[in-house]
Structure 1
């Protein structure tokens, strides 16, 4: 079997090939390969071909990778980081804390709060770093963690209180994750939503952009971040959010088209 693939221009770590109408896709991460396709026979032939050319191990169906648990069944694929979430709580000393219903208090507007007392920066930054990795399967935490990440340079008591609220919410939702539903359509429809919150930062008046994209009924990418430019109106803030979402939509559309071979 010839190991000849085409590299995706939109995602250099993804390679694809088509043989007699069957698709084979390989994703490369450091020294690991993720293999999928429309034919088990083609996948097995690829693995045999790779083993004949390289010293490699076949670990079988993907079940756990980089702290992400992967469960595959006839309904689809479930991704969660429950063990990693519990480890975050343990390291923060909140493994037995009471749970909260929301990751952030309704209407809370954090600021630099320079008049407040400073808190331990090392613990805060470590927890935020861990939470940011947890965002791979937890879009519900994106806004909260994104806001808390803005104050890493000078941490105050109100920031610590908001972080504890986020961790208390995590305590009651460690089992949350993503479910990627199996679709009957050959290429499910790509659907995206965008929004913005105008002039919510009390320090610089900048707005926050947010968007999420679904492939069929499954969320595949999301974002929540402060806008780079100061919007002069809520309409302008919405345009900025819409522009970012449109850029992401174009990239996703081109990537899916290139991988599947369908426009």
Structure 2
């Protein structure tokens, strides 16, 4: 199951608690109010799909741990619920966050607040570590290209000052709430059947060629009798990956050709890549598929 780190502005009872509910409260604590040294993993905690690996917070009904610069762990000028000398210091909190990002398959950032300074660091760190970085907000920032022909006027918008962080994402999304955005993320990271499919999909997400925009994995055809590994249904263009273990027998060879003929009679065009091609250079396979679509 893919693991996910949820970056974004931290506040008491924030959107992460809406997603994880009771599972998040108290997950990073011992009975003596002293947190454990490492963060736990909440299996399938996010939309019953992604393993949640961070960030975690100190549960505190007074909100003492959620000040402007505490990152969910520290006193903030009110009567503390805990003996705060037991809490990790800022350097430890930083290392916990970065360690969680190191282990994440996906780093998702809800970036709708210009004071989310820690989130900016997390996005940059995740990009530098080669992670799948998805940044979402109710509105995406305008780019410099958007301003051409507008004189010196700069469009208003809550995220415009954050364009640099958005440009570091491998995917940007718009949604009204983090939950809605994460439901889109579920479609970006499907459960695939083989390592070569996972490699091809990862390369597709990284390159994001416009010709393959809205590529669908495991697309059913003929009422579900067949599934095409990856497809652009509107264009009737499919991509099949032929792993040796699944396609090497005489029966599989015959079945594959019969299915291909049936698809072609229905107007589909199928690009086939061997498993060894994908293993050697998945990115090149993605680029070739995009070039084929561009020729159609």
Give the strand-richer structure, 1 or 2: 1
- What's the TM-score, normalizing by structure 2? 0.23
Bigger Rg over Cα? 2
- What's the TM-score, normalizing by structure 1? 0.25
Give the helix-richer structure, 1 or 2: 2
Higher relative contact order structure (alpha carbons within 8 Å, sequence separation ≥ 6): 1
